[in-house]
Amino acid sequence: MKIIPVPVRSDNYSYIILSSPSQVEGDERQKACFVDPYDLDKVRKVAQEEYGIRDEDVVGCLTTHHHHDHSGGNEDFAKAYPNLPIWGGSDKCPKMTKQLQHGSTFDLLPNVTVKCYGTPCHTQDSICYYLEDKRDEAELAKLGQGLKEGKDGEKKRGVMTGDTLFISGCGRFFEGSAEEMNKALNQTLASLPPTTLVYCGHEYTKSNVAFSAAVLPDHAPIQNLIRDVQNQRNGGVTTGIYTIADEKLHNVFMRLQDPAVRARVGGKDEVDTMIKLREAKNSGSLQANI
């Protein structure tokens, strides 16, 4: 599968998930699913003009949560594709036709499966979608651009995290608690295979790593991420580049047991540290100059 980020609004990402032509028995055309297509015209245009996706090749729409900057394209999707499913975690997601919950699994595209992980906190209907191509890496490496960095490389596994997990950061606790975010990040998402690529809902990496660097100024993985940002790795598009294993190293919200993180914010335990990290990030009181 290929996972194509499409920038929308000022800093959001929508996505196009593509099957490979050879995945479709008797049909050499690719199939596609859209994720949070806030600007449907733009997402549709990228799919059509850059990847040859016709309207009949689209299979549905995944919604990570109900906030308008993610679900705001659902009504347009329903008009454009009236017979296709719109998946989501609650009926707060506009035009949702198939409600999902933690543990839901289904075949999304030929050879691509999805498993749903409920991650309530930013919103209570937040769902992270774990995508996996059922073929092995050797077979995928033979296709197209192979398993390589960037949008056009074949991908074995990835997770759509919406506004729960960002690169070196996490979402605000709008509808939940620090306990819920700790569970979402450090139990639910941390349990995914370490090579899972993180596809987040916003390009917030520069401000996130500036905060992480203020918390752990001498931590090598954070300094590596800073260099990536400064050098505009992958053209400055950081989504789909870093893995769950990377986040455990350069994301302070996933390092709540680190004594240095706790000491920096005065955290007593994991949940208290999560609270104090989020408060410090919200207030802007900790920010390195990068």
Alpha-helical regions (H) of 191-269: 205-215, 220-230, 244-250, 259-265
Q: Burial, 235: exposed, middle or buried (Cβ in 10 Å; 0-12, 13-18, 19+)?
A: exposed
219 is catalytic: no
Catalytic residue among 70, 125, 219, 246: 70
Catalytic residue among 39, 69, 152, 272: 69
Q: How many CB atoms lie within 10 A of CB 153?
A: 17
DSSP letters spanning 143-195:
STT-S-SSTTS--SEEEEEETTEETTEE---SSS-HHHHHHIIIIIGGGS-TT
Any idea which residue has 């700790």 for tokens? Answer: 182
Catalytic residue among 66, 122, 219, 250: 122
Catalytic residue among 36, 65, 125, 219: 65
Catalytic residue among 36, 57, 66, 67: 67
70 is catalytic: yes
Catalytic residue among 66, 202, 219, 250: 202
Catalytic residue among 57, 125, 133, 163: 163
122 is catalytic: yes
CA dist 220 and 100 (Å) reads: 39
202 is catalytic: yes
69 is catalytic: yes
Would you name the residues annotated as active-site residues? 65, 67, 69-70, 122, 163, 202
